[in-house]
Homo-oligomer: A and B are copies of this chain.
Amino acid sequence: MQRLDSRDPAFGDHFARLLAVKREVAEDVDETVRAIIADVAARGDEALVEYTSRFDRLEVGPETLRVSEREIDAAVAACPREALDALDLARARIETFHRAQVPADHRETDALGVTLGWRWTALESVGLYVPGGTASYPSSVLMNAVPARVAGVPRVAMVVPTPDGVTNPLVLAAARLAGVDEVFRIGGAQAVAALAYGTATVAPVAKIVGPGNAYVAAAKRRVFGQVGIDMIAGPSEVLILADASANPEWVAADLLAQAEHDPAAQAILITDDDALADAVARAVEGQLATLPRAGIARASWRDYGAIVRVARLADAIPLVDRLAPEHLEIEAQEAEALAARVRNAGAIFLGAHTPEAIGDYVGGPNHVLPTARSARFSSGLGVLDFMKRTTLLSCTPEALRALGPAAVTLGRAEGLDGHARSVAIRLN
């Protein structure tokens, strides 16, 4: 963990260095991924079965690639009641929040008689990638599938690798709760290829969403164009703005909740209070002693953690906007006023009783959020990611007479006489 002070003459350089830190080493897997995609596109199920045997050590046939409803029933039955109830509470709140995001269509007829507007439609189908193994999170299934359902996507397919045949029952339970239509026990670049190009068993989709490892990310980049993709997520981040009113143990717990994700995660505290800074630094060390994932959290805090001291909390606003954090917590007296001045953040958590983990699970807003400073130009996942807008235009003969001459002029000015003619031919 490094400590910075905005009153230090070299602060500008220090902060620029903090901003520039690359927390991800991009593995060069592109050639491997290219070959897998081409193979699945050419040989379909046969290739899927082979790769699943090779990478997941799982023998399946085309007829068992899909997880049956009975298997999902059994998985649900194997989940603790308490966890199912918590998942269902999460689903209901996520659904309510996202329902408010359903966009309105628009249509009007202007004074010239031009009718214009737009219409939103759901994507025809979506594929949801869910990682296997330890990073297989039922909460992420809900965060991806529920907005798709709210958007009205008629077909939601999910792929989840089951290395050595091991499935996470809560992941299947979340799929059931969220209304996922089809689940396939495939993963890696081969699953992305199947969703993009289709096989006899896996029908192709229009868009692929969800997190994955370097192979999955490279495969998504590669099939982009053939299908839509969501953002490529990087390691998670939290930035906490806190003043003397904050509880240092709570702040430390929130920093560590982020750090435990990944050695490449980043947790930063910005404060105007030296005593809080010191107390949080001590509390982090204290809590690490008893944290199950202390190894991961300690590495993240050591390599990427930071405590930044500013003269006044208002001075932090331009720093926040440059960092453009995925998660911003504000535990300070003037939380609302500070939040109102922030331009770049994926999600803001206001006040001492709103730890980010509430938002990860049951708050209602989406936990799929822009990382690596991309909150400067992008939003978290939402209903709009599962819909697209078609604009509409309709002219009466009179409207065309009013607007046509300007279109003819511009078409000719751009050297596109065919454009001009397609209008002029209707004006005679």
Contact = CB atoms under 8 A, between A and B. Distances in A.
How big is the A interface, by class? 35 or more
A162 interface: no
A379 B103 CA distance: 13
A74 B61 CA distance: 71
A79 to B, nearest CB: 9
A242 interface: no
A69 interface: no
Interface stretch (A178-186, A273-281, A306-314, A362-370): A362-370
A390 to B, nearest CB: 5
A365 B407 contact: no
A1 B324 CA distance: 51
Q: Is the interface of A mostly helix, strand, loop or mixed?
A: mixed
Interface string A379-391: 1101010001111
B287 A421 contact: yes
Contacts of A389: 379-380, 382
Contacts of A384: 384
A81 to B, nearest CB: 10
A121 interface: yes
Contacts of A90: 406, 410
A244 interface: no
B206 A377 contact: yes
Contacts of A359: 391, 393
Contact of A358 (B86, B207, B370, B393): B393
Given A116-B364, A350-B393, A124 B376 contact: yes
Interface stretch (A6-14, A44-52, A187-195, A248-256): A248-256
B347 A422 contact: no
A399 interface: yes
Contacts of A123: 376-377
A180 B310 CA distance: 35
A306 B407 CA distance: 27
Given A87-B410, A423-B358, A425-B250, A116 B418 contact: no
Contacts of A388: 344, 370, 375-379
A147 to B, nearest CB: 12
Contacts of A350: 115, 392-394
Contacts of A379: 388-390
Contacts of A335: 394
A43 interface: no
A28 to B, nearest CB: 14
A55 interface: no
A60 interface: no
A72 interface: no
Q: Please provide the 9 A-B residue pairs with the shortest distance between their CB atoms, ordered closest to farther.
A: A228-B377, A350-B394, A365-B391, A260-B418, A86-B406, A379-B389, A253-B422, A357-B419, A257-B422
Given A353-B399, A364-B393, A370-B388, 6 more contacts: A103-B103, A347-B391, A349-B394, A357-B411, A360-B407, A363-B393
27 contacts: A83-B410, A85-B406, A86-B407, A101-B118, A116-B364, A138-B410, A138-B413, A225-B372, A228-B374, A228-B376, A253-B421, A256-B418, A257-B418, A260-B416, A261-B416, A293-B417, A335-B394, A345-B390, A348-B390, A348-B393, A350-B393, A358-B393, A358-B400, A361-B419, A370-B388, A375-B390, A379-B389
